[in-house]
Chain A
Amino acid sequence: MATKDMVISPVGRVEGDLDVRVTIEDNVVVNAWTEAAMFRGFEIILRGKDPQAGLIVTPRICGICGGSHLYKSAYALDTAWRTELPPNAILIRNIAQAAETMLSIPRWFYALFAIDLTNKKYARAKGYDEVVRRFAPFVGTGYERGVAISNKPAEVYAMFGGQWPHSSFMIPGGVMCAPTLAEVSRSIAILDQWRDQWLESDWLGCSIDRWLENETWDDVMAWMEENDRQYNSDCGVFIRFAQEIGLDTYGRGVGNFLATGTFFNHHEYNHPTIEGRNAALISRSGIYENGNYHDFDQANVREDHTHSFFKGTGELHPFDGVTDPVDPADGRKQDKYTWAKAPRYIIPGKGSTPVEVGPLARQMMAGKPNAADWQESDNLFRSAVESSGPNILLRALARMHEAPKYYKMARKWLDEINLHDRFYTKPVEHASGKGFGSTEAARGALSDWIVLEGGKIANYQVITPTAWNIGPRDGKNVNGPMEQAFIGAEIADMSDPVEIGHVARSFDSCLVCTVHAYDGKTGKELAQYRVNGSG
């Protein structure tokens, strides 16, 4: 079979980290494989180490999501050690997590995603000149502003964590810092600069409250026509151009979404447990499948390594997870093709299912009914997805939509810090226990499972958003979400299938990836694309 030959074909790769191979027949993508090409073995390093080693080690898994790694590894220990968290500690962790995502939003859009829109392929599109003026790398007006403004939320992170990236200031029982008035008021000022000098002035062209009045896709369209400022904002220009070049018509994916949720109500999770987690979340967890919502339960998560460069086949729950690498050269002979495992979620009545994670998944959960008044509740993206299906434009816009929401939440949490109260409660360091911690990194659900025995780590398993999205086929040969998202993409110019690049970029994987496009009939390589990764 021609497609299979291509997977193992030693065709020269341009770039490391992640290779995406797609097969195109009659101008339509018919198959795809994602191949992560680097392995460091962090889960192996953590075995036998100090229970708190994950606070130092896991942020170093990914430089762009380091704060998110810290956040969930601290909560994993909180559940394992049954700590008591003061309200202030929950608030500061929330603020730090939100700050990292607020940094990531403009950095991702301008430095990684939007430069693609300036591809000369679109030179004949009506909005092209304006898109180039704004989004061209290094020289675009939006590019320069967007990259510079992304530093602001990092300053807020540093106010509490000392530095970004790679602080380890969250610990079981709370946080290490005890901020003073100065840190809080400076954080407010910096966030307001971020809002005034980019979010409202450049991205939205209106107040954040005006944008957040949009409840349906029709509202968004009406918002754009409302006045020139909104029409000509970066957001307005992006939506119009995306529609003109059809980014709202493909990149559907598996259509199932998972969020583990993040941010806790500071009065609802002071004694963190695995079971009590869902009810305390501000940005809710859940699974959306075929119009139905299911509650998230970590017990239903599996990782399949049938097609990954690890010994054996099958799927395991992360508490029982094994990380035992094989030489990729031997793995190839067993139909293994990537260092990523294939995370799956057991949906009741449906079994292990690939699910998409990320901002769009989070916004689908925001549309879940029955939110408490302090939980995120927002129907915009659910209504958009249910009317048009998921696509590249919605995936990108869901992330941008979080900028005003996270700003508002972070501002509120800053106001709620009680500077005279505690920030930490010294925990009892139990010698054994099991913990689960999770968050929503900018690019999706990020979770740790920790098993402690005899005062050290017996097992540590991490599932990253990139693994959820770019993981390979499973034991039943069902494609991973990004693999599936490529399929069906129509390629206008067979010698330049830029459409594939857009799909890959819309997932914002942490890996730099190269897309290799092949002609399904002749097996000939058509083109290669480098997709800029962020971390």
Chain B
Amino acid sequence: MANVLWLQGGACSGNTMSFLCAEEPTAVDLVTDFGINVLWHPSLGFELGEQAKQICMDCATGKTPLDIFVFEGTVIQAPNGTGRYNLFAGRPMMDWVRELAAQAQIVVALGDCACWGGIPATAPNPSDSIGLQYLKRENGGFLGANFRSKMGLPVVNIPGCPAHPDWVVQILVAIATGRAGDLALDELGRPQTFFKSFTQTGCTRVQFFEYKQSSVEFGQGTRTGCLFYELGCRGPVTRSSCNRILWNRQSSKTRAGMPCIGCTEPEFPHFDLMPGTVFKTQKISGSVPKEVPYGTDHVTYMAHSAAARVAAPQWTKEDLFVV
């Protein structure tokens, strides 16, 4: 049995909607079979009326033991650090977050917004939004770099815009079944089990990447090639398991022909969406990708590319994903 309180700040509820798509286990299974006791959630469960505030208050004061505090959305600090752009139960949400985080055994930041600020924190950040323990890649965030929950853990970051349903439910199950100690977190507070591998790991286009063969345009153009070279795909530089644990049990963005937009990394949306950066690979002197695959450098990359292109078999220049 684990008490869960789930609140939303500067959120679109996309992580909740994603969570509801989980099947192993389902959101309903979590409650009925796995002992997850959802004390309160903004979109689910029963009418609570005045009790809702009381439930939050009882958690905030420690009267009700709070095992897991899930926060979705940014912490909104505007205007002028008052938090009045986001009120909850008559007071700024950021005040609730501070109190609840201090009482929780484990704090889970769900989705980019809660992890690093996400889209609302994109320049000029009109709501002065910030993540729980990070603002973009900078450690600190709303709770501070030194924050540790009662169990001694930093904020557990489950990023993604939205987070994949399995990432959420499996972490909740792990915590509820006493396996929190098994969670290895990376330097950004992400569970390594989901965020050690790359988005590219398991991508159906990886053979084209190997031989440096590019998709040249969308639609019919994605019947062949890799989306990294021209169309801005961030699969080789993004940590996620999108191509290992498929979305909606069917596919992934890169499989369907959409470039990875790097939404599990703190810089999302990348380049602050400035003109010329959307769905276009950023290049040096018109040909070499500005960002090369993780762990390599431009000189090595270019040498590798040249060799790979020479080695490319004829089939890599033809359509593979055909009718």
**Residues 48-76 of chain B: 1 if any A CB is under 8 Å from the residue's CB, otherwise 0?**
11101100000000000000000000101
Stretch at the interface among A323-331, A350-358, A484-492: A323-331
- Report whether B257 and A178 are in contact in the complex, using a CB–CB cutoff of 8 Å: yes
**Does B220 belong to the interface (CB within 8 Å)?**
yes
Give the docked Cα–Cα distance between A512 and B127 (Å). 20
- Report whether B256 and A160 are in contact in the complex, using a CB–CB cutoff of 8 Å: yes
**Does A534 belong to the interface (CB within 8 Å)?**
yes
- Report whether A177 and B258 are in contact in the complex, using a CB–CB cutoff of 8 Å: yes
- Report whether B46 and A49 are in contact in the complex, using a CB–CB cutoff of 8 Å: no
**Most A CB within 10 A of own CB, among B74, B126, B129, B255:** B126
**Does B93 belong to the interface (CB within 8 Å)?**
yes
- Report whether A151 and B23 are in contact in the complex, using a CB–CB cutoff of 8 Å: yes
- Report whether B49 and A529 are in contact in the complex, using a CB–CB cutoff of 8 Å: yes
- Give the interface SS of chain A, mostly helix, strand, loop or mixed: loop
- Report whether B47 and A426 are in contact in the complex, using a CB–CB cutoff of 8 Å: no
What is the minimal beta-carbon distance from A331 to any residue of chain B, in angstroms?
10
- Report whether B31 and A138 are in contact in the complex, using a CB–CB cutoff of 8 Å: yes
**Which chain B positions have C-beta within 8 A of A164?**
21, 247-248
What is the minimal beta-carbon distance from A7 to any residue of chain B, in angstroms?
14
**Does A222 belong to the interface (CB within 8 Å)?**
no
Give the docked Cα–Cα distance between A173 and B221 (Å). 13
- Report whether A424 and B89 are in contact in the complex, using a CB–CB cutoff of 8 Å: no
What is the minimal beta-carbon distance from A130 to any residue of chain B, in angstroms?
19
- Report whether B14 and A166 are in contact in the complex, using a CB–CB cutoff of 8 Å: yes
- Report whether B87 and A16 are in contact in the complex, using a CB–CB cutoff of 8 Å: yes
- Report whether A39 and B86 are in contact in the complex, using a CB–CB cutoff of 8 Å: yes
**Which chain B positions have C-beta within 8 A of A420?**
323
- Report whether A57 and B79 are in contact in the complex, using a CB–CB cutoff of 8 Å: no
- Report whether B261 and A56 are in contact in the complex, using a CB–CB cutoff of 8 Å: yes
Stretch at the interface among A142-150, A253-261, A288-296: A142-150
- Report whether B253 and A175 are in contact in the complex, using a CB–CB cutoff of 8 Å: no
**Does A437 belong to the interface (CB within 8 Å)?**
no
- Report whether A328 and B84 are in contact in the complex, using a CB–CB cutoff of 8 Å: yes
**Does B288 belong to the interface (CB within 8 Å)?**
no
**Does B178 belong to the interface (CB within 8 Å)?**
no
**Which chain A positions have C-beta within 8 A of B78?**
39
Taking a contact as CB atoms closer than 8 A, the residue among A10, A157, A169 that contacts B90 in the complex is A10
- Report whether A162 and B251 are in contact in the complex, using a CB–CB cutoff of 8 Å: yes
Q: Using CB atoms, name the residue of chain B closest to A419.
A: B323
What is the minimal beta-carbon distance from A421 to any residue of chain B, in angstroms?
8
Supposing A17-B42, A41-B127, A166-B14 touch, asked if A60 and B250 sit within 8 A by C-beta, the answer is no
Give the docked Cα–Cα distance between A181 and B9 (Å). 42
**Does A52 belong to the interface (CB within 8 Å)?**
yes
Q: Using CB atoms, name the residue of chain B closest to A331.
A: B84
**Which chain B positions have C-beta within 8 A of A55?**
278
- Report whether B52 and A14 are in contact in the complex, using a CB–CB cutoff of 8 Å: yes
Give the docked Cα–Cα distance between A107 and B242 (Å). 25
**Does B120 belong to the interface (CB within 8 Å)?**
yes
- Report whether A115 and B42 are in contact in the complex, using a CB–CB cutoff of 8 Å: no
**Which chain B positions have C-beta within 8 A of A2?**
none
Give the docked Cα–Cα distance between A456 and B253 (Å). 26
- Report whether A176 and B218 are in contact in the complex, using a CB–CB cutoff of 8 Å: yes
List CB contacts (< 8 Å) of A31-61 with chain B.
37-42, 44-45, 48-53, 55-57, 60-61
- Report whether A49 and B274 are in contact in the complex, using a CB–CB cutoff of 8 Å: yes
B-side interface residues, number (CB < 8 Å): 91
**Which chain A positions have C-beta within 8 A of B12?**
60-63, 66, 535
**Does A111 belong to the interface (CB within 8 Å)?**
yes
**Which chain B positions have C-beta within 8 A of A158?**
246-251, 256
Give the docked Cα–Cα distance between A512 and B89 (Å). 12
- Report whether B274 and A63 are in contact in the complex, using a CB–CB cutoff of 8 Å: no
- Report whether A162 and B252 are in contact in the complex, using a CB–CB cutoff of 8 Å: yes
Supposing A40-B126, A180-B323, A426-B217 touch, asked if A155 and B86 sit within 8 A by C-beta, the answer is no
What is the minimal beta-carbon distance from B234 to any residue of chain A, in angstroms?
12
Q: Using CB atoms, name the residue of chain A closest to B247.
A: A163
What is the minimal beta-carbon distance from B106 to any residue of chain A, in angstroms?
23
**Does A272 belong to the interface (CB within 8 Å)?**
no
- Report whether A57 and B258 are in contact in the complex, using a CB–CB cutoff of 8 Å: no
**Does A455 belong to the interface (CB within 8 Å)?**
yes
- Report whether A89 and B219 are in contact in the complex, using a CB–CB cutoff of 8 Å: yes
- Report whether B248 and A45 are in contact in the complex, using a CB–CB cutoff of 8 Å: no
**Which chain A positions have C-beta within 8 A of B249?**
155, 158
**Does B321 belong to the interface (CB within 8 Å)?**
yes
Supposing A57-B119, A60-B14 touch, asked if A169 and B21 sit within 8 A by C-beta, the answer is no
**Does B162 belong to the interface (CB within 8 Å)?**
yes
**Which chain B positions have C-beta within 8 A of A169?**
253, 256-258
**Does B15 belong to the interface (CB within 8 Å)?**
yes
Taking a contact as CB atoms closer than 8 A, the residue among B26, B87, B275, B321 that contacts A178 in the complex is B321
**Does B299 belong to the interface (CB within 8 Å)?**
no
- Report whether B13 and A535 are in contact in the complex, using a CB–CB cutoff of 8 Å: yes
**Which chain B positions have C-beta within 8 A of A160?**
256
- Report whether A63 and B16 are in contact in the complex, using a CB–CB cutoff of 8 Å: yes
- Report whether A527 and B49 are in contact in the complex, using a CB–CB cutoff of 8 Å: yes
- Report whether B273 and A40 are in contact in the complex, using a CB–CB cutoff of 8 Å: no
- Report whether B47 and A51 are in contact in the complex, using a CB–CB cutoff of 8 Å: no
What is the minimal beta-carbon distance from A63 to any residue of chain B, in angstroms?
3
Q: Using CB atoms, name the residue of chain B closest to A66.
A: B14
**Does A521 belong to the interface (CB within 8 Å)?**
no
**Does B317 belong to the interface (CB within 8 Å)?**
no
**Most A CB within 10 A of own CB, among B28, B217, B248:** B248
**Which chain A positions have C-beta within 8 A of B124?**
44-45
**Does A530 belong to the interface (CB within 8 Å)?**
yes
**Which chain A positions have C-beta within 8 A of B74?**
40
**Which chain A positions have C-beta within 8 A of B127?**
39-41
**Does B284 belong to the interface (CB within 8 Å)?**
no
What is the minimal beta-carbon distance from A457 to any residue of chain B, in angstroms?
9
- Report whether B89 and A14 are in contact in the complex, using a CB–CB cutoff of 8 Å: yes
**Most B CB within 10 A of own CB, among A39, A40, A48, A327:** A40
What is the minimal beta-carbon distance from B27 to any residue of chain A, in angstroms?
7
**Which chain B positions have C-beta within 8 A of A16?**
8, 42, 86-89, 93
Q: Using CB atoms, name the residue of chain A closest to B9.
A: A38
Give the docked Cα–Cα distance between A60 and B220 (Å). 27
Supposing A51-B275, A165-B162, A166-B14 touch, asked if A533 and B50 sit within 8 A by C-beta, the answer is no
**Does B161 belong to the interface (CB within 8 Å)?**
yes
**Does A494 belong to the interface (CB within 8 Å)?**
no
**Which chain B positions have C-beta within 8 A of A138?**
28, 31-32, 45
- Report whether A15 and B89 are in contact in the complex, using a CB–CB cutoff of 8 Å: yes
Taking a contact as CB atoms closer than 8 A, the residue among A165, A329, A423 that contacts B18 in the complex is A165
Give the docked Cα–Cα distance between A174 and B258 (Å). 12
**Which chain B positions have C-beta within 8 A of A348?**
none
List CB contacts (< 8 Å) of A210-226 with chain B.
none
**Residues 504-518 of chain A: 1 if any B CB is under 8 Å from the residue's CB, otherwise 0?**
000000101000000
**Which chain B positions have C-beta within 8 A of A425?**
219
- Report whether A178 and B251 are in contact in the complex, using a CB–CB cutoff of 8 Å: no
- Report whether B85 and A328 are in contact in the complex, using a CB–CB cutoff of 8 Å: yes
**Which chain B positions have C-beta within 8 A of A144?**
28
Q: Using CB atoms, name the residue of chain B closest to A17.
A: B42
- Report whether A423 and B220 are in contact in the complex, using a CB–CB cutoff of 8 Å: yes
**Which chain A positions have C-beta within 8 A of B170?**
none
**Does B122 belong to the interface (CB within 8 Å)?**
yes
List CB contacts (< 8 Å) of A123-172 with chain B.
137-139, 144, 147-148, 150-151, 154-155, 157-169, 171
Query: Can you list 10 A-B contacts (CB < 8 A)?
Result: A14-B53, A37-B87, A39-B126, A66-B17, A137-B44, A158-B249, A166-B14, A325-B79, A423-B220, A424-B220
Known: A62-B13, A161-B253. 15 other contacts (CB 8 A): A14-B52, A53-B273, A107-B20, A111-B20, A144-B28, A151-B23, A154-B21, A159-B256, A162-B254, A162-B257, A164-B247, A171-B279, A422-B220, A424-B221, A455-B276
The 7 A-B pairs at the shortest CB distance, nearest first, are namely A424-B219, A63-B14, A41-B126, A423-B219, A162-B256, A163-B247, A162-B253
